Amino acid sequence: MASIPTKNCISCGVKGAGNYCSNCGAPTTVKRITLKALLHDVFHFFTHLDSKFIKTIRLVLFKPGMLALEYCEGVRKKYFKPVSLFLIGIIIYLLLPLKQGLNMSLSPYLTTTKAWHLNFAERLVDNKLSNKNISFSELAEKYEYRSVVFAKPMLFIILPLIGLALMLFFYRKQKYYFDHFILALEMSNFFLYVVFIILPVLLTGIAMLCWWIFGKNYVFDDYFSGPIVILTLVTNWSIAFKRFYKIKTWHAILKAIFFLLPFAIIVFFIYRILLFLITLISI
């Protein structure tokens, strides 16, 4: 691979000798791009991704709180970045939509808001119907399409909110918000990978196996998976709280159980309201 000699650093412009710039650390020679170089970069990316990704996801799944603890203590280089892990989870979720996300169709959402005595959603829908001069079915169809588009990227909204909830829950620990946010990021990664990727794949596999053995089509709805998800989350959070905040086991379990309430408010109430508003505005 041929090199182009340079007198000054092409990144910062500082003149110097050697293979790397003494000011910014960038290479002082520019390597021409070849097919071999591109293939090498692709190979390096995937092998680098594999080792760090597997190590990090294993930590998230089987050692709750450890990733956040080490990340906050400065041990970061050997792990995949938690934000990148969350982003990859969203991409996998987009490619394997085995479970409906947190978004709801328009009619069920309006029914839910009525049950909560929140009439603002119905008023906004009526205004949209009047302004656009379209039928409810047309609006519902457009809403369905766009809510699916917005739903998964908007999962990032829950991260700072869960971090804030953790800070309020553990205010006596006198940790920085960043520390709580990192744990919230780990918890959200666990929630994303387990609830929307791993569990649906397992249940789909079990359903296919049952169909193959018994010849019947089994559907595992939320009434079946819901208790499993709650038990899994409480178990994961209990261990994470005990490890990260260094509290007793019984204290961690109680905190995990009570944390279900703010978590549900953030995920199933605030997130859905914001998704509803953004989706409706975009139509």
**Residue 61: exposed, middle, or buried by beta-carbon count in 10 A (0-12, 13-18, 19+)?**
middle
The tokens for 85 are 């892990």
Q: Which amino acid makes up residue 63?
A: K
Q: Which two tokens stand for residue 224?
A: 């079946």
Helix (H, G, I), strand (E, B) or coil at 222: helix
Structure-block tokens of residue 162: 């869960």
Q: Can you tell me which residue has the tokens 């960043």?
A: 178
Residue type, 95: L
Give pLDDT, residue 26.
65
250-268 tens-digit pLDDT: 999 999 999 999 999 998 8
List, for the chain, all residue ranges whose pLDDT scores fall below the cut of 70. 1-8, 10-12, 16-19, 24-50, 97-103, 115-117, 220-221
Euclidean distance between CA atoms 261 and 212, whole angstroms = 40
Nearest partner of 60 among 91, 96, 93, 84, judged by Cα:
84
pLDDT recorded at residue 2:
47
In the prediction, which pLDDT does 36 show?
A: 67
DSSP 8-state symbol, 15: B
Per-residue model confidence (pLDDT) at position 1: 45
Quote the pLDDT of residue 244: 95
Say what the pLDDT of residue 204 is: 81
Tokens encoding 108: 């069920």
| Rounded Cα distance, 177 and 98, in Å | 34
Q: What local confidence, expressed as pLDDT, does residue 75 receive?
A: 84
CB 13 within 8 A of CB 39: no
- Could you tell me where the beta strands, DSSP code E, fall in the chain? 3-4, 30-31
pLDDT at res. 136:
85
**How many residues does the structure list for the chain?**
283
Global pTM exceeds 0.85: no
Is 155 within 8 Å of 145 (Cβ atoms)? no
Q: What share of the chain is helix, strand, coil (3-state, %, to 5)?
A: 70, 5, 25
Q: Which two tokens stand for residue 123?
A: 């008023």
Tokens 């978590």 map to which residue? 263
pLDDT in tens, 81-130: 888 889 888 888 877 766 666 667 778 777 777 766 677 888 888 888 88
